[in-house]
Structure 1
Amino acid sequence: MKPANPPNPYSAPRSDVLVPRAPDAFLQRPSSTKWLLALIWIITVTMALRTLRAYQEAGNAFPAHYNPFRFGLAITWVAVVLTAFHAFKRYRITYVLGLLCLVLLGCPIFFVTSDSLRTLAAKWNQPVSITESWDILIVPPLVFVSLYLKLCYHFIFGLPSRRFYRMTQK
């Protein structure tokens, strides 16, 4: 009967060095995927807290302005995505869900960016201090957009991410 992991034929005589296992067997989740999951959790918790705050402020009038179908759809989407990321770690469907999440997470970042750029354009010819203009221009849009684009680049084109989701294999 052969052992499960035969000795390395190229090792020194009388040594018990075993052949290393395939590197794909114990690949860790890449940091871009971890950041994407963290971003999904942060946005989920933020939206839940905003909904709770709106409910506390509106009181009994909250259900009149509340769309339960949209809220249920959002909760279902987040549950499916997080379950897929934890259950199907290395499948390509998880990679596609990650891409879809990046697209959906890009929408709020786009709205923040366009709103601050519109504010800057409206105050362009008015006498405003330079520091206020730079705060409007740099803080929300450039920092968030650059971090978001870096996350997108590393998730889509990064070698650890592509290797983890088996995109480099034929």
Structure 2
Amino acid sequence: MTPLTITDAPNMDGFMVRCHGISAWRDPESDSLYLYVLIHPESVDRVEVFEVVLKRLHLRHIRSIVDPSTFMNDLVVVGRDQFYITRFTWFRSFVWIRLSHWLHIPEGAILFYDGDQVMRALPDSYFLLNGINASPDKKTIYVAELGTKIIHALQRDDKLTTTWK
């Protein structure tokens, strides 16, 4: 396995620490491949966007997407800078996270980022949302709810909003 080098990355401490979620998307027009990586630094979670340059085996950093109010867990990309994210919890404090888990507070959510607006939560709350993925045609989103051991299927409509099946 050959590690990929990263170019054009911001000069910041801990740029690629605590990588968590990862998703790839291929632009149907240009055939370019993009990699979206969810990072958990100590302060604010962010999604780093890279273009995969296969001829030179490296990642070219494109942008960082940050929403300071969100504790992100996993993501799945469905279009250029359009993705769903699972929010595991509201809190960053280990004590509050444990307390909310012990009390079975359903504070998890599915968030959607459309490339323009800040991430917005879809209706409903969940207990300990974890993994998320999409069907090959991107019409169905699958979400694992660790706290209840349930896998949800989310049907997407043309306006990138959601309705449950």
TM-score when normalising by structure 2: 0.23
- Report the structure, 1 or 2, having the larger helix content: 1
Q: Which structure: larger Rg?
A: 1
Higher relative contact order, chain-length normalized (CA < 8 Å, sep 6+): 1
Q: TM-score, normalised by structure 1?
A: 0.23
